[in-house]
Amino acid sequence: MAPKLILTGFMATGKSVVARALARRLRWPIVDIDSIIVARAGKSIPEIFKEHGEAHFRALEREVTAEIARDPRRCPQCGEPRPAVISTGGGVLADPRNHAALARAGVIVCLNARPEVIARRIGTAATERPMLVRGGKPLDERIAELIEERREAYARAAVTVDTSDLTVEEVVNAILARVAAYRSKAWAASA
Ligand code: S3P
């Protein structure tokens, strides 16, 4: 089975910090799609949105996601595809093409959190997130609206963990337990 673990979910649900902890626990490399986009564009995400618009950012995101998901490298010892923890931006799953590419690469894990927890974690840093400042709506209203828009997309993940009341370590434990259960179910279904 494709070995990668893909961490996705709404902004401020803990993807980056959990991805780092998960990669450390598994001793796997970590790949951050937004960091690759920023390095490739030579601009921050707010700059990409401001200068070129959301459609351009989504095109870059799709391109990088497809490349990372395709990763043709194999383990030199066992010949299996190489494992990695892949961290994505919060909007990746909204495009079914990204979902399809990532689902082929491994198990998609969606982190979520209660809207008020997300608003608290974002605090005054909303300006770094162009999707939240759009329309000039109050932060909590915009968060609720965007979560609702993406509900179906997030529901397509194989595994979901609510991080609202968990420590990073507890989230990592929950992910590993649920991914193991998901994999054994998928394995039994294909046997
Ligand atoms: C986005 C989330 C951001 C970043 C971009 C768009 C979104 O990543 O990819 O601002 O559409 O939800 P984080 O979820 O890591 O903040």
Question: How far apart, in whole angstroms, are the C-alpha atoms of residue 170 and residue 173?
Answer: 5
Sign of the torsion angle spanned by Cα atoms 81, 83, 84, 85: positive
Q: What percent of the chain has pLDDT over 70?
A: 99
What tokens were used for 2?
A: 């494709």
Partners of 30 in the β-ladder: 85
* Chain-centre distance for alpha carbon 26: 18
Condensed to tens digits (0 to 9), the pLDDT of residues 137-146 reads: 899 999 999 9
> In this model, does residue 2 exceed pLDDT 80?
no
**Strand 159-162 to 106-112 pairing:** parallel
Q: Which atom of ligand 1 is nearest to the CA of 15?
A: 15
Report the chain's mean pLDDT, rounded to a whole number. 94
Question: How far apart, in whole angstroms, are the C-alpha atoms of residue 107 and residue 190?
Answer: 16
pLDDT at position 102 is 97
| Pocket of ligand 1 from Cβ distances under 6 Å | 11, 15, 34, 45, 89-91, 129-131
What tokens were used for 40?
A: 């490739």
- pLDDT confidence bin for 1, thresholds 50/70/90: low
Q: Are 34 and 49 in contact (CB under 8 A)?
A: no
- pLDDT confidence bin for 3, thresholds 50/70/90: confident
Condensed to tens digits (0 to 9), the pLDDT of residues 116-132 reads: 999 999 987 878 899 99
Ligand 1: residue of 129, 133, 149 to mutate (most ligand atoms within 8 A of CB) is 129
Question: pTM of the entire structure?
Answer: 0.94
Q: Which atom of ligand 1 is nearest to the CA of 33?
A: 9
- If DSSP codes are grouped into helix, strand and coil, which group holds residue 139? helix
pLDDT average, residue stretch 45-61: 97
- Between residues 186 and 33, the one the model is more confident about: 33
Neighbours of 174 (CB within 10 A): 19
- Strands of 102-190 (E only): list them: 106-112, 159-162
pLDDT at position 187 is 81
- pLDDT confidence bin for 78, thresholds 50/70/90: confident
Condensed to tens digits (0 to 9), the pLDDT of residues 96-111 reads: 999 999 999 999 999 9
pLDDT at position 75 is 77
